[in-house]
Amino acid sequence: MLFLDEDGFKRLLEQLVSNIRVIAPVETDGYFEFKTIKHGGEASLDYSNTRLPPKRFFLPQREVVFKHDPKTRALHEPMGGLEAVLLGVRPCDASALNIFDSVLLKPPNPDPFYESRRRSITVVSLSCAKPREECFCNVFEAGPIRGSGEDITLTRITGGFLVEARSRRGQSLVEVSASLFEEAGPEHLEEYGELTCRLTREMNSRIEISRERLVRLEATLDEGFFQQAAQRCVECSLCSFTCPVCYCFDTEDYFEKNAYVRTKGWDTCASTLFTRMASGLDPRVSRVDRFCHRFCHKLSRIPMAFNSFGCVGCGRCVSLCPVGVDIREVLKRWG
Amino acid sequence: MSRAEEELRSIVRKLLERKDVELVLGYEYYGRSVRPCFVSKPEEVERLVWNSDCWFNLATYLRSLRSRRVGIVAKGCDGRSIVELVKENQVDRGSIVVIAVECNGVFKPFKYGSTHVGRRLADYCRRCVTRVSPVADYLVKKGGQAPEDENTVAGDNASDWLSLFRKCLKCMACVKACPLCYCTECSIEGFKPDLVHRLRVPQELFTFHLTRALHMAGRCVECGACESACPVEIPLTRLYHELNEWFRENYGYAPGMSLSEAPPPLVFKEGGED
């Protein structure tokens, strides 16, 4: 592990900003948003978490798959992402990228759009110092100190940051500015150990569940419980759209400026039309079915297929849901 | 527990014990926030709360409970939306029991990652015209004063709607939280026929919001449920308020104020004086 003092961090940030596109949390209208910054001072690292996850840099709300001009018969496939450094991602949101990797990069048909973006963006996470009230990342081992999808993990300690390179790409970023870093001393490591202990204890005191039991959620479904909880749901798609993990997409074709355009963008299982087929048949016809599906998919089906949960415990859906649907209630009941 | 809460619980207990209603729509605590709850047994009434965090409009649920006899806790604006729903034949006045609660305004809800520490009175509550529901079977007086507003700056005055709409995720929370947005085939949801393309953002975000605004003109009761539900805090109620003002000036009609007053679009005659 390496140590980077405050001054070194500022210099590193300036170096990065002048060389590459840097995306960092910026405060706007009372909350934090990921934005491209022009100089190091714009970035704010004193945030609980950004309101929206950094998902859109990897899976944009809408992207063009191809354009076809019927006159010239030219086919245009926009592709590739800009090289960038995504700084200040919380460990939970970084862990979501790990789930994307297992789902979207699964051979033999990896998503080329996601792949190119994932390759071009270096993710630098920043450990949580004060987890939010609605956070439960400990349940899925997605934080609060280390996540699982980042290239570099930064942890704030007295006088600077502890730096841990988590991938080859992270390692090379550290090597470029090697002079700024120093080997972490025993006092740094001791502080890190204490911080980890304190935060883990704090998170575990809020909620602690058995992951093995949770995976069996779908098999041991309690209809009554879900019927009660689903009564409240108004079926907006806020929870999916603000979720760092929800990756379902839909495509749409339209004609624009002399070209046929195929777009790909976010879709949501909360929508009544998500599973409706052309014939009119809908296997998920009731509100309870759709409501159950969201939890079963995240907590039961994804872990069975990919060995990691489809939730990272960031708490966005808990806090932003207009009617207070709380995934922690499901966790406490089944975990 | 406040006096008003005590009174509310005793009314609901009575209604459920006498089997006047099958179910009562109210509010309950979860964490430090308040959410809707459905009470169907007299022993569950202890869950019910009433305070300035109860911003959600429970009338949204009435249509899905049409076949049942339900009681509903209603603020002034919620009552107005019930009136509009009755006038639009969506809800049968006879099958609902309105427990009106005197409201002094609600706070903006706690939002994820917000840097505001103090509670702030919602902007739309500053424009409130009725603190008590125009229809009521029971009335709970609050007896308190207006909530303490810790906001030092008056409501934000961002007027650049395009940049506000650009933040939109099209998550439909505004539509689904609205009691008066009840179309089963929503034109802006963007499915066949594609009246508004779902994935054509940001070009069609304007169309999306303006279509909704036009559909709400002269109907919106400004309960603010859309605005408070919005994850990116677009001040939608302000837009609908401006349209309502236009409607009031031209037709002399304010939505949801009385059951006998017909909505102008329903009685409009082409070329006539009406």
Judged by phi (left if over 0) then psi (alpha if -120 to 50, else beta), residue A122 lies in beta
> In terms of pLDDT, which residue wins out, B118 or B195?
B118
Q: Which chain B residues contact residue A47 at CB under 8 A?
A: 113, 115
Domain borders along chain A are 2-208, 214-334
Q: Which chain A residues contact residue B114 at CB under 8 A?
A: 30-31, 51
Residue B71 has pLDDT above 70, yes or no: yes
CA distance A281 to B107: 43
pLDDT at B145: 56
pLDDT at B146: 60
Q: At B193, is the pLDDT very low, low, confident or very high (cuts 50, 70, 90)?
A: low
Percentage of chain B lying above the pLDDT 70 cut: 90
Residue B152 has pLDDT above 70, yes or no: no
pLDDT at B194: 67
Number of helices (H) and strands (E) in chain A: give both, helices first.
12, 12
pLDDT at A97: 96
Residue contact A47–B116, C-beta within 8 A? no
Task: Name which of A62, A279, A314 to mutate to probe chain B: the one with the most chain B Cβ atoms within 10 A of its Cβ.
Answer: A62
Residue length, chain A?
Answer: 335
Q: At B32, is the pLDDT very low, low, confident or very high (cuts 50, 70, 90)?
A: confident
**Structure-token pair, residue A274:** 């998500």
Residue B270 has pLDDT above 80, yes or no: no
| Tens of pLDDT, residues A38-83 | 988 899 888 899 999 999 999 998 888 999 988 888 887 776 678 9
Q: What is the pTM of this model?
A: 0.90
Instruction: State the alpha helices, DSSP H only, in B66-188.
Output: 76-87, 161-166, 173-177
Q: How far is CA B231 from the centre of its chain?
A: 16
Average pLDDT, chain B: 87
Q: Which chain A residues contact residue B228 at CB under 8 A?
A: 322
Task: List, as ranges, residues 109-148 from B with C-beta within 8 Å of A.
Answer: 109-116
* CA distances to A90, A122, A251 from A21, in Å: 19, 10, 29
Q: What is the ipTM of this complex?
A: 0.89
| Tens of pLDDT, residues B95-149 | 999 999 999 999 999 888 888 777 889 989 999 999 999 999 999 987 555 665 5
Residue B155 has pLDDT above 50, yes or no: no
**Structure-token pair, residue B145:** 């004063």
pLDDT at B148: 59
Residue A296 CB coordination number (10 Å) = 18
Flag residues of chain A having pLDDT under 70.
Answer: 79-80
pLDDT at A168: 95
Residue contact A61–B201, C-beta within 8 A? yes
